[in-house]
């Protein structure tokens, strides 16, 4: 699989990880210091609950300490590797939470932990462009129409499900689903053409 060339920061993180694998506590401290606010941002935006987000991070770093040696530099960059793990754990928990909510048909949602992003927080669409810019995938994101772009951004950064997307964007469920599907297909075609990632 094609991986973008490592940045200076990635190289530093990979070096730190290899030292963590040898039990170097200072390296672990520095690794935490360089990665935790990025990962916490990812987790908090999805889970909207500080203590749940902290718990996911806690597990992630405990795993880093114990399994730093299993990180494969050839397959992905350190922060990408860890971000994927954290995002997946958050999404697992979020989707499971919805499953429980449906079972209990709890319509009194007042107890749900609320996360109000600060008013100066960038919109999902802005984050999508910023993320794209960071690795020159901007052209591909730019090919998306406004609707699919918005839907993909909300799903990616805030973990919205199809029905939540429909609610948020005030569109029928079917429309939102096809936006997501078409958006993803278009992204894939464009990114693969740019040699970004290719199935093995």
Partner 1 sequence: MNLSRPDRPQRLDLLAAQYALGTLPARARMRLARMAQTDTVVAGALRSWEQRLSPLAEGGPPITPSPRLWKVIALRLGLEPVRAAAPALWWNRVAFWRGLALAGFVAAFALGITLLAPTPQVPEQAIVAVLVGQDAKPALIASIGRADRILTVKAVDAAVVPPDKALQLWMLPNGQPPRSLGVLPRGAVARITLPNVPEIAFANVPALAVSLEAAGGSTTGAPQGPVLYSGKLERMY
Contact 69, 5 (CB under 8 A): no
63 forms part of the interface with partner 1 (CB under 8 A) = no
Name which of 21 and 129 has its Cβ closer to partner 1. 129
166 forms part of the interface with partner 1 (CB under 8 A) = no
Name which of 18 and 192 has its Cβ closer to partner 1. 192
Name which of 171 and 192 has its Cβ closer to partner 1. 192
For the CB of residue 21, give the shortest distance to partner 1 in the complex, in Å. Answer: 14
Q: Which stretch binds partner 1 (CB under 8 A): 11-19, 30-38, 142-150, 166-174?
A: 30-38
11 forms part of the interface with partner 1 (CB under 8 A) = no
Name which of 69 and 75 has its Cβ closer to partner 1. 75
91 forms part of the interface with partner 1 (CB under 8 A) = yes
Name which of 17 and 46 has its Cβ closer to partner 1. 46
For the CB of residue 87, give the shortest distance to partner 1 in the complex, in Å. Answer: 7
Name which of 135 and 174 has its Cβ closer to partner 1. 135
1 forms part of the interface with partner 1 (CB under 8 A) = yes
33 forms part of the interface with partner 1 (CB under 8 A) = yes
**Using the rule CB under 8 A, which residue among 16, 17, 42, 144 binds partner 1?**
42
The three state secondary structure string of the chain is CCCCCCCHHHHHHHHHHHHHCCCCHHHHHHHHHHHHHHHHHHHHHHHCCHHHHHHHHHHHHHHHHHHHHHCCCCCCCHHHHHHHHHHHHHHHHHHHHHHHHHHHCCCCHHHCCCCCCCCCCCCHHHHHHHHHHHCCCHHHHHCCCHHHHHHHHHHHHHCCCHHHHHHHHCCCHHHHHHHHHHHHHHHHHHHHHCCCCCCC
145 forms part of the interface with partner 1 (CB under 8 A) = no
- φ, ψ for residue 195, nearest 5 deg: 75, 25
For the CB of residue 3, give the shortest distance to partner 1 in the complex, in Å. Answer: 7
CA atoms within 13 A on the CB side of 57: 20
CA distances from 122 to 56, 98, 125 (A): 23, 26, 8
197 forms part of the interface with partner 1 (CB under 8 A) = yes
């Amino acid at each position: 699989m094609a991986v973008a060339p490592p940045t200076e920061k990635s190289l530093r993180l990979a070096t730190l990880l290899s030292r963590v694998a040898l039990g170097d506590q200072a390296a672990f401290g520095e690794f935490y210091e360089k990665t935790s606010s990025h990962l916490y941002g990812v987790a908090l935006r999805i889970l909207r609950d500080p203590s749940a987000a902290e718990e996911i991070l806690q597990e992630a770093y405990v795993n880093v300490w114990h399994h730093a040696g299993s990180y494969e530099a050839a397959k992905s960059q350190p922060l990408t590797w860890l971000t994927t793990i954290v995002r997946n754990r958050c999404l697992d928990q979020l989707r499971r939470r919805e499953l429980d909510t449906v079972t209990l048909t709890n319509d009194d949602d007042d107890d749900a932990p609320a996360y109000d992003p600060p008013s100066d927080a960038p919109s999902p669409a802005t984050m999508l462009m910023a993320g794209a810019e960071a690795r020159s995938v901007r052209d591909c994101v730019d090919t998306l129409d406004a609707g699919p772009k918005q839907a993909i951004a909300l799903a990616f950064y805030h973990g919205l499900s199809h029905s939540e997307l429909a609610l948020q964007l005030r569109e029928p469920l079917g429309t939102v689903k096809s936006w997501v599907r078409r958006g993803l297909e278009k992204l894939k075609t464009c990114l693969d053409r740019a040699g970004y990632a290719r199935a093995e």
